[in-house]
Amino acid sequence: MTAAPLSGIHVVVVATNVPGPVAAARLRELGASVTKVEPPEGDPLAVTAPAWYAALAACCTVRRLDLRAPAGRAALDELLAAADLLLTSLRPAALARLGLDARELGTRFPLLARVAIVGHPAPEAELPGHDLTYLAAHGLVTPPDLPRTLVADLLGAERAVAAALALLLIRERGGGAGVAVVALADAARDAAAPLRAGLTAPDGVLGGAFPGYGLYRARSGWIAVAALEEGFRVRLAAALGVPLDRAALERAFLARTAEEWEEWGRERDLPIAAVRGEPTA
């Protein structure tokens, strides 16, 4: 059996809520051993989404430490002395107050790679924010509806994992321990690139201008149709026996339920999915 790529790597995570725990779980999946340090009251995610929290923390060792107290800070130092990577999600001022700023850690733990998840990039790293505000600033929110997922948090978590892998590779090649900063606002900005490019704007190909890519009402429910490539477009029009224009498709898709259309699409190798109100496993 091939060893997991991060087997033998020890990670300490000082991060609560979503991005840090998601990144920690991904690092654990890659084979790292992960110790997650939580405040004495625990991670808020355990209260707001207990099942998800449990899944993310399942393979981590969870330690509750008061890092503002000498005993807690000493316990963290013991963990860091044996660690390869530290992942945090605190603002720079908070890290400095805890003695976890880059200069302090670089002096005391010269072999420790560090990934800091922040909200905004410098020089605005102290600005408060959360996923909703990052998305709103880049045109990814349509009031009054709230986003149905946490785009910046999840994309930021994956960026943190990528940054961690890059730092560990550099260290492995003799480049020493480095520091990477991942800004969630940057993740939101990059997630908005298709919108800025016009691709998902209301008049864009993926924003409603192309009839083969869109949402359609079925006899019951709605379906998502993504017949973007020519092969899909030709096959969809032929199978339905209608031209590929919105009015014709709207009439055709009223003939079956959303679930029936989904099965119909699978039988014909066409990208059609029922729009579900709740996520599937």
Please state the domain count of the chain: 2
pLDDT (0 to 100) of residue 241: 96
Q: Find, among 185, 179, 167, 85, the residue nearest to 125 by Cα.
A: 185
Same domain, 150 and 255: no
Q: Which residues pair with 14 in a beta bridge?
A: 88
**Do 125 and 39 reside in the same domain of the chain?**
yes
Q: Look at residues 158, 173, 194 and tell me which one is the last residue of a structural domain.
A: 194
| Cα(203)–Cα(103) distance, integer angstroms | 49
d(CA 279, CA 64): 32
Contact in structure between 80 and 67 (CB atoms under 8 Å): no
Q: Tally the C-alpha atoms within 13 A of residue 271's C-alpha that lie toward its C-beta.
A: 14
245 contacts 211 by C-beta, under 8 angstroms = yes
Give the pTM. 0.92
Q: Is residue 115 one of the residues assigned to a domain?
A: yes
Residues 172 and 210 in one domain: no
For residues 36 and 26, give the distance between their C-alpha atoms in angstroms, rounded to a whole number: 13
For residue 76, give the 3-state DSSP assignment.
Answer: helix
Q: Are residues 259 and 171 in the same domain?
A: no
Say yes or no: 113 and 86 in one domain. Answer: yes
Helices (H), the chain: 19-29, 45-48, 50-57, 70-81, 92-97, 102-108, 131-137, 151-172, 184-191, 193-196, 230-240, 246-252, 258-267
| pLDDT score recorded for residue 233 | 96
Of 194, 213, 241, the position where a domain reaches its end is 194
Query: Is residue 280 domain-resident?
Result: no
Range of the domain at 139: 10-194
Q: How far is CA 128 from CA 67, 88, 122, 152, 234, in A?
A: 21, 16, 13, 14, 49
Instruction: pLDDT tens for the chain, 281 residues: list them.
Output: 577 999 999 999 999 999 999 999 999 999 999 999 999 999 999 999 999 999 999 989 999 999 999 999 999 999 999 999 999 999 999 999 999 988 889 899 999 999 999 999 999 999 999 999 999 999 999 999 999 999 999 999 999 999 999 999 999 999 989 999 999 999 999 999 999 999 999 999 999 999 999 999 999 999 999 999 999 999 999 999 999 999 999 999 999 999 999 999 999 999 999 999 877 66
